[in-house]
Amino acid sequence: MSILELIREPWPWYIAGPLVGLTVPALLIIGNKSFGISASLRHTCAICLPANIKFFKYDWKKEIWNMFFVFGILLGGVIAFSFLSNPNPISIDGNLKAELATYGVTNINGMLPEQLFSWENLLTLKGFFMMVVGGFFIGFGSRYAGGCTSGHAISGLSNLQMPSLIATCCFFVGGLIMANLILPFILSL
């Protein structure tokens, strides 16, 4: 098997999981840095909007490595999409397809069904809730929780932080409530 074939295939959890998990101690050991992505928004605001806001008044230059890290993630995503995309349709369980069809979602050709995520749908009540209200809650929630799901679940738990354990449990409970109670209501709008 060539390297390109190895990269094109999904990696099993027992390979990918430890690689992600080992990023946290590697950053701590090598540079005394904390793994996290949502903090880059704060750094971006501090760089671009040097206003007299206390939250953005800090030495962001010490955290510039985080911006390169995020840029690397974006670049990796672009390269993977451009050169390593799987041309086959996304495999979705038949029961999920049937349930989505009851809400009018039948065209599932990509990661984001056009019947839910499109410019035309943005102007509908369903689309507004899915994209604008949902995006606001994700941004507000990650700021209010002091980090995103990845930051708490990967970095916080590996550092044995009790607030991260609480936040991660709340993320899972919130996800269950959203997927089973709120999302069906929004999809039926």
What is the reported pTM?
0.72
Q: Cβ–Cβ contacts within 10 Å for residue 116, how many?
A: 20
Sequence-distant (6+) residues with CB within 8 A of 117 are 127, 130, 131
- Per-residue pLDDT of 55-95, as tens digits, reads 888 888 888 888 898 899 899 999 988 888 777 777 888 89
Sequence-distant (6+) residues with CB within 8 A of 69 are 37, 40
Structure tokens at 72: 């690397």
- Per-residue pLDDT of 111-137, as tens digits, reads 788 888 889 888 999 889 989 999 999
